[in-house]
Chains A and B, each alone.
Chain A
């Protein structure tokens, strides 16, 4: 982008607000960490009775997240904490409504965050690789060379016409049956391959629509100036298509974030499966609250990123 951008003052009002919030959070975090109770205090929090029944294992029975500390008796029968410490060392009873919810959620957070990581990384790598694959598929489907055109059309037809779930099963369970050399033992790898192949087909149709929406006059002008086909696509057509592609690709992205829950069927733990596992173990519907919030946060962050991208590519409008 060769446009001249006006230099804005660094301290805009939005940035001042943002910095203040950030500063307040840092101060709070420092205060929490500074007043953090010691390990002994945490252990002391657990009732005598439980400490004895848990025996030597009690050292595993507390969790310390730095900011929020939870002492949890390893009562296998209920699975829930009986006492815990608040952020500033306060001691709460496990039956305290809201506070206990916070403690429970903080207990679940690590596995939810891990699941979120899987969901995000699977989505990002699959869609990114899918977009590259899709560019070739789209150009191939528009190609005048018939075998290429047929292959790309067939590919797109196949992957759009069959359920992603079956494609995933096929990659993970089916391929090893054909030949053991094709076995993909890493679940994430298998999910990535299935998702990228599938995304490629969907995005190819988006790219084709975007390329075909470019005015015919652009091809003619490029041709009359002597640009080759590759130069015409690379310098004229594709750059103009990118902006038109951003909203539908953002949409595909958000679909894949949710489709990622299918990976639980090959026992890969994404955010959905992490949530379900906690739900099965604790019978607490409360776990849906952080899970939903996490999903919404991911979607919001990516929507924001795509909006920014769209703005960047709109400078010439």
Chain B
């Protein structure tokens, strides 16, 4: 069963065409990594999925339901408002710059959405948050404000904050790119654990080691298209597309 499916997704910012026909599928339980040079449209693709950007053309299916269909900027079909909201909640997003709420403690960061959006009673939300924070290794930081945490800890709080909504799929947009090198590992190991627990993940990353180890499939994006797509071993050791080869040579 596919959790996300896109058909010919196009996105332009004014004259600039950033996505030029993205067709792909993410199956339940699959970990898919997106690699590619800067400016390829990786972030834009991820942000289009959860409606932080509005696509120009194409179809997006979430959980096998047609979520959005547009042609040349014109809306053809959009799922009903209540379903729209529900399906959006099935996607959690982790940003490169964490985007924690600085005026809230770690605990409040994690429980705000469950209590306010899902109306989970506070004590249940807290109990759940305690468990999630333990999973990301931050059981002793409940009352800390984000400013008192390291980058790696902040990103783990951001992951916990998304997980607290119990999404079916987690989207990661370069979650370790803003971190000092020595802090990258702790975030990647949380992500690996999450992958092993069966979470469906779509990860934009520059960490080729992570992609090789954790991904079921790797997409190479370049100039707004998926230029190559295969299993990590295949893609890293035997790239078919010259652009992929060139990119891998530059980063490995």
**Chain A residues packing against B (C-beta within 8 Å):** 2-4, 215, 217-218, 220-221, 223-227, 231, 235-236, 239-240, 315-317
Contacts and interface: CB of A to CB of B under 8 A. Distances in A.
B43 to A, nearest CB: 11
B162 A240 contact: no
Interface string B86-126: 00110111010111111111011000110011100000000
A48 B92 CA distance: 93
Given A220-B99, A223-B52, A231 B116 contact: yes
Contacts of B52: 220, 223-224
Given A221-B95, A235-B112, A316 B117 contact: no
Interface residue tally of chain B, by bracket? 20 to 34
12 contacts: A217-B98, A221-B158, A224-B52, A224-B162, A225-B112, A225-B113, A225-B117, A225-B161, A226-B165, A239-B103, A316-B146, A316-B147
A217 B165 CA distance: 19
Dominant secondary structure of chain B at its interface with chain A: loop
A226 B89 contact: yes
B115 to A, nearest CB: 10
Contacts of B98: 217
A236 B107 CA distance: 15
A2 B101 contact: no
Given A217-B95, A316-B145, 11 more contacts: A2-B108, A2-B143, A217-B98, A224-B93, A225-B161, A226-B117, A231-B116, A235-B116, A315-B145, A316-B102, A316-B103
Contacts of A240: 101-103
A224 B167 CA distance: 11
B92 A236 contact: no
Q: Which one of A225, A239, A316 has the greatest number of beta carbons of chain B within 10 Å?
A: A225
Contacts of A235: 101, 112, 116
B25 interface: no
Nearest to B164: A225
A317 B147 CA distance: 6
Contacts of B88: 226
Contact of A3 (B95, B100, B105, B165): B105
A231 B117 CA distance: 9
Given A226-B117, A227-B116, A236 B105 contact: no
B103 A227 contact: no
A231 B95 CA distance: 20
Nearest to A317: B147
B28 interface: no
For the complex of A and B, list the 8 residue pairs with the smallest distance between their C-beta atoms, beginning with the closest: A221-B99, A217-B99, A225-B113, A224-B93, A316-B145, A226-B117, A226-B89, A316-B103
A2 B102 CA distance: 13
A58 to B, nearest CB: 66
Contacts of A217: 95, 97-99
A232 to B, nearest CB: 10
A227 B100 CA distance: 14
Q: Which one of B102, B145, B162 has the greatest number of beta carbons of chain A within 10 Å?
A: B102
B186 to A, nearest CB: 21
A221 B100 CA distance: 8
Contacts of B107: 2
B233 interface: no
Nearest to B92: A224
Given A224-B93, A226-B117, A227-B116, A218 B101 contact: yes
A88 B158 CA distance: 70
Q: Which one of B99, B104, B105 has the greatest number of beta carbons of chain A within 10 Å?
A: B99
Contacts of A226: 85, 88-89, 113, 117-118, 165
A215 B99 contact: yes
Contacts of B12: none
B50 interface: yes
Contact of B105 (A2, A215, A227, A317): A2
A175 B30 CA distance: 70
A239 to B, nearest CB: 5
Contacts of B113: 225-227
A225 B95 CA distance: 12
